[in-house]
Amino acid sequence: MSEHTPTSGQQALSALLHENRRFDPPPELAARANAQPSIYEEAAADRLAWWAEQARRLDWDTPFSTVLEWDLPDAKWFADGRLNACVNCVDRHVAAGKGSKVAFHWVGEPDGDTRTITYKDLLEEVSRAANALESLGVKAGDRVAIYMPMIPEAVVSMLACARIGAPHSVVFGGFSAEALASRILDSDCQVVITADGGYRRGAAAALKPHVDEALEQCPTVRAVLCVRRTGQDVAWIEGRDHWWHDTVETASSTHQAQSFEAEQPLYLMYTSGTTAKPKGILHTTGGYLTHVAATHRLIFDVKPDEDVFWTAADIGWVTGHSYIVYGPLANGTTSVLYEGTPTAGGRDRWWRIVEDYKVNILYTAPTTIRTLMKWGEDLPAAHDLSSLRVLGSVGEPINPEAWMWYRKNVGRTRCPIVDTWWQTETGGILITPLPGITSTKPGAAMRPFPGISAEVVDNEGKPVGNGEGGYLVITEPWPGMLRGIWGDHDRYVSTYWSRFPGVYFAGDGAKKDDDGDLWLLGRVDDVMNISGHRISTTEVEHALVGHPSVAEAAVVGASDETTGQAIVAFVTVKGNVQVENEAATEALVDELRNTVATTIGPIAKPRQIILTPELPKTRSGKIMRRLLRDVAEHRELGDVTTLMDPTVVNMISEKMTAGGEDEA
Ligand code: PRX
């Protein structure tokens, strides 16, 4: 593979691969499962017919007659059909007599702060919000930025945008003002929905001030809609700023939704690529909704009339879009919506939520599982988790130890674990076991979902054999696939469709084991995965060189026991900058970490910053990141003969050892 051969936790993975531990589905589970064993053959026999059947589970105002129009790499799914995503998620369930069914059990971070939202409540709220957005001049096609904590109004805002055909662009509340501004500008949003603040790790964190700061750079934003969540004081610009309780809650609770064509843009989600500029990934309506509804129903084996489903993620990421909002609501499911992080509200907060709400399906990231694992078996053991039926994992490779811990201590060896591989770009899950149908192996995502065609290929694009590794590609278009990068078709083509002609290049390494089952091994490019969050090395380098003292910066993702990867930065300072002693070094390192936090967000703060007089470069002047990764992971150094000055890397290595791990 390339110099970016994934390493984090992979040794452990491959060790287990040889052991090939496997759990076969118990027959009683298979008998009750939504998916039946024949599903793979049925989908393979006629992929498009199978997807069309999934699409027909939605309500179409105008039924589609075509399934796929494929002009590589541009796809249109169900193109002549018309539907409304919000109506499919809300109205149709109320119309079917399920208005009193709970859509969300909302749990705020402060203990006891809860709300129950039924489908009828949701319909009224969404209708009010849609009316309010229209009164602010938002029309179909206009982009709306959403920068909010995990409160019901965030979901309502997304659905209200969908209802009026205005693509939303949700920006994770942990991003900085600058990151928010660049996203607003890139897609030219004219309205921003936010809150005064939200609760994060036990304290009220501010959001509106970040919006105010961002908007100094965004003169085209004409309206800000602001929810009062924490009650903190906020600055106010008359005419531009509107309180949610004045604008939305006074609007009419009925709103006549119109239908849109299937390819109507539904949302943009910005994600990190290999350059400093995040990409606005575009998703459209009919195909996306089909994909997330089908995957939600079949992969989590959801019984909408019985189950309580909990995706413990933030709606600021794609996992929240697809498996908190669109998938579960399209299927009329009851979900838990939790404002806080696992570390807030006591170490057993999660288990209390599972117990209190009798959660049947829990979906989260390996980082969280590893954190819960660090806290010990006693906490989950002290709670009644017998309601749990299926467990899911997403966002990063799950190490077998965490998988086994999850199975034993959370699933009590009874619940199948679905390790689901997908990306912002894929819209929904593409590789996963199916509960009751597919065997599982600790650390493997196993096989493509029905109707999905994936392959592992070598450098030349040839499929590898069983027992071999390579690059993951998707060989046929799928309904939830991205329709492009906002405003940059060339980048869409070059990023995803050029590395191997005719197929989608995911950017991940993968391996087929001796049985042909798939193991996802992490990124093969300059994208890091920190606690399941994608951050590009270039973006962090860019932030660092933005500091006046910095001459050059090189950033790598080093494996980390809890967060999967952690950011390590190697920085050279400008000639005129004096860093004489330890105190001055510490002060500068602190300043640099804060620079990254204000440029991108606290999630991108390097775990460690090493100041060094030089960076290891080849004779042609290229920074050798591979060596820096070796240094950061305390590995024996690879080949250093091509370096301009091989002593540089030894010096950095010594500094790294001397500096210890500077925990973020
Ligand atoms: O490297 C893969 C990793 O997360 C990347 C996608 O990140 P993002 O677009 O932020 O979406 C995360 C949530 C879907 C992938 O390229 N990844 C995601 N799921 C898995 C995974 N790696 C291994 N196993 C997974 N189950």
The amino acid that residue 560 corresponds to is D
The amino acid that residue 86 corresponds to is C
Task: Pull the structure tokens for residue 20.
Answer: 């090939």
pLDDT, one tens digit per residue, over 617-654 is: 888 888 888 889 999 998 887 778 888 888 888 888 88
Task: Pull the structure tokens for residue 133.
Answer: 């957005």
The CB of 9 under 6 Å from ligand 1? The reply is: no
- What kind and span of H or E run contains 554? strand 550-560
pLDDT band of residue 7 (cuts 50, 70, 90) is very low
Say if residues 442 and 21 touch (Cβ distance below 8 Å). yes
- Asked if residue 406 has pLDDT above 60, the reply is yes
Q: Going by C-beta distance under 8 Å and a sequence separation of 6 or more, which residues neighbour residue 124?
A: 253
Number of helical H runs and strand E runs in the chain: 23, 30
The CB of 572 under 6 Å from ligand 1? The reply is: no
Task: Pull the structure tokens for residue 386.
Answer: 């017998």
Picking from 282, 331, 265, 300, the residue whose alpha carbon sits closest to that of residue 481 is: 282
The CB of 423 under 6 Å from ligand 1? The reply is: yes
C-alpha 244 – ligand 1 centre gap (Å): 34
Q: What is the pLDDT of residue 620?
A: 82
The CB of 322 under 6 Å from ligand 1? The reply is: no
Determine the average pLDDT of the residues in 387-406.
Answer: 96
Q: What is the pLDDT of residue 1?
A: 39
Q: What is the Cα–Cα distance from 241 to 192, expressed in whole angstroms?
A: 9
Q: What is the Cα–Cα distance from 614 to 637, expressed in whole angstroms?
A: 17
Task: Pull the structure tokens for residue 31.
Answer: 């008998």
Q: Going by C-beta distance under 8 Å and a sequence separation of 6 or more, which residues neighbour residue 317?
A: 172, 269, 424, 533
Strands 102-107 and 114-118: antiparallel
Q: Whose CA is nearest to atom 23 of ligand 1?
A: 397
C-alpha 531 – ligand 1 centre gap (Å): 11
The CB of 334 under 6 Å from ligand 1? The reply is: no
- Asked if residue 19 has pLDDT above 70, the reply is no
Q: Going by C-beta distance under 8 Å and a sequence separation of 6 or more, which residues neighbour residue 321?
A: 158, 170, 267, 269, 315
The CB of 273 under 6 Å from ligand 1? The reply is: no
Q: What is the Cα–Cα distance from 314 to 424, expressed in whole angstroms?
A: 13
Q: What is the pLDDT of residue 10?
A: 54
pLDDT, one tens digit per residue, over 274-315 is: 777 899 999 999 999 999 999 999 999 999 899 999 999 999
Mutate to test the pocket of ligand 1, among 171, 393, 519, 520 (most ligand atoms within 8 A of CB): 520
- What kind and span of H or E run contains 319? helix 318-320
- Asked if residue 517 has pLDDT above 70, the reply is yes
C-alpha 394 – ligand 1 centre gap (Å): 7
Q: Is 14 exposed, middle or buried (0-12, 13-18, 19+ CB in 10 A)?
A: middle
C-alpha 57 – ligand 1 centre gap (Å): 28
Q: Is 634 left (phi over 0), alpha (psi -120 to 50) or beta?
A: left
Q: What is the Cα–Cα distance from 418 to 408, expressed in whole angstroms?
A: 14
pTM of the model: 0.94
- Asked if residue 414 has pLDDT above 70, the reply is yes
The CB of 522 under 6 Å from ligand 1? The reply is: yes
Determine the average pLDDT of the residues in 586-596.
Answer: 96
Q: What is the pLDDT of residue 599?
A: 94
Q: What is the Cα–Cα distance from 64 to 386, expressed in whole angstroms?
A: 43
Does residue 73 have a cis peptide bond before it, meaning omega lies within 30 degrees of 0? yes
Q: Is 558 exposed, middle or buried (0-12, 13-18, 19+ CB in 10 A)?
A: buried
C-alpha 450: how far from chain center? 22
C-alpha 612 – ligand 1 centre gap (Å): 33
Picking from 283, 260, 267, 319, the residue whose alpha carbon sits closest to that of residue 484 is: 283
The CB of 534 under 6 Å from ligand 1? The reply is: yes
Cα angle: 469, vertex 472, 477; to 5 degrees:
155
C-alpha 280 – ligand 1 centre gap (Å): 17
Q: What is the Cα–Cα distance from 471 to 485, expressed in whole angstroms?
A: 22
C-alpha 316 – ligand 1 centre gap (Å): 15
Question: Which domains does the chain carry?
Answer: 118-258 (3.40.50.980), 531-657 (3.30.300.30)
Strands 334-338 and 102-107: parallel
Mutate to test the pocket of ligand 1, among 508, 511, 533, 535 (most ligand atoms within 8 A of CB): 508
Radius of gyration of the chain (CA): 24
Q: What is the pLDDT of residue 17?
A: 55
Task: Pull the structure tokens for residue 206.
Answer: 């501010």
pLDDT, one tens digit per residue, over 343-381 is: 777 899 999 999 999 999 999 999 999 999 999 999 999
Task: Pull the structure tokens for residue 260.
Answer: 């849109």
Q: What is the Cα–Cα distance from 71 to 69, expressed in whole angstroms?
A: 7
Q: Whose CA is nearest to atom 18 of ligand 1?
A: 395
Higher per-residue confidence, 97 vs 27: 97
CA dist list (Å): 420 to 304, 391, 446, 580 = 20, 10, 9, 50
Q: What is the pLDDT of residue 8?
A: 47
Q: What is the Cα–Cα distance from 531 to 174, expressed in whole angstroms?
A: 14
Q: What is the pLDDT of residue 648?
A: 86
Q: Residue 419: what are its φ and ψ, rounded to 5°? A: -90, 110
Q: Whose CA is nearest to atom 7 of ligand 1?
A: 423
C-alpha 206 – ligand 1 centre gap (Å): 29
**Which residue's structure tokens are 């309601």?**
387
- Asked if residue 270 has pLDDT above 70, the reply is yes
The amino acid that residue 565 corresponds to is Q
Beta strands in 345-486 (DSSP E): 361-364, 390-394, 417-420, 454-457, 469-474, 484-485
Residue 120: how many other CB atoms lie within 10 Å: 17
C-alpha 15 – ligand 1 centre gap (Å): 22
Q: What is the Cα–Cα distance from 632 to 229, expressed in whole angstroms?
A: 41
Say if residues 280 and 486 touch (Cβ distance below 8 Å). yes
C-alpha 396 – ligand 1 centre gap (Å): 5
Return the bridge partners of 552, or none.
572
The CB of 424 under 6 Å from ligand 1? The reply is: yes
Cα angle: 181, vertex 273, 510; to 5 degrees:
150
Q: What is the pLDDT of residue 3?
A: 40
The CB of 263 under 6 Å from ligand 1? The reply is: no
Q: What is the mean pLDDT of the chain?
A: 93
Q: What is the Cα–Cα distance from 123 to 257, expressed in whole angstroms?
A: 11
Q: What is the pLDDT of residue 655?
A: 82
pLDDT band of residue 31 (cuts 50, 70, 90) is confident
Strands 334-338 and 518-523: unpaired
C-alpha 659: how far from chain center? 32
Q: What is the Cα–Cα distance from 376 to 356, expressed in whole angstroms?
A: 21
Atom of ligand 1 nearest to the CA of 523: 1
Q: What is the pLDDT of residue 662?
A: 46
